[in-house]
Amino acid sequence: SLGEAEANKWYGQEAESGKPDSTTESVVKFEYASLLWLPVFCPGQPIVWVTCPRLLKRYQRIAGDYVQLKDGTSLKSAKPPANYTGSHTLKALDINGQPKLFFNFGFLTVEKTQDLSAWFPLGEELPAVVVADNEIAMIHDMALYRQSRVALDKEEKKAKKGAFFNTEALPEGTILVFPIALKENQETWQPFGASTGTDIYLGGLESIGFGHCYLTLKEV
Q: What's the Cα-to-Cα distance from 154 to each of 113, 161, 165, 208, rounded to whole Å?
A: 57, 12, 18, 20
Share of residues in the chain with pLDDT > 90 (%): 36
* Band of residue 47 on the pLDDT scale cut at 50, 70, 90: very high
Strands 85-87, 112-114: parallel, antiparallel or unpaired by DSSP?
A: parallel
CB atoms within 10 A of CB 61: 12
The residues, any chain, with a CB within 8 Å of residue 117's CB and separated by 6 or more, are 87, 123, 124, 125
Mean pLDDT of all residues in 103-112:
86
Mean pLDDT over all residues of the chain? 86
pLDDT in tens, 142-197: 888 888 777 777 777 777 776 777 788 889 999 999 999 888 877 888 888 888 89
Which pLDDT belongs to residue 11?
A: 85
Which is nearest to 133 in space by CA: 51, 39, 40, 78? 51
Which pLDDT belongs to residue 184?
A: 82
Share of residues in the chain with pLDDT > 70 (%): 95
Instruction: Tell me the DSSP string of 46-112.
Output: SEEEEE-HHHHHHHHHHHTTTPBPTTS-BGGGSPPPPTTEEETT---EEETTEEEEEETTEEEE--E
Domain boundaries of the chain, sorted by first residue: 32-177
Which is nearest to 179 in space by CA: 58, 63, 38? 63
Q: What's the Cα-to-Cα distance from 2 to each of 10, 16, 192, 193, 197, rounded to whole Å?
A: 11, 22, 12, 11, 18
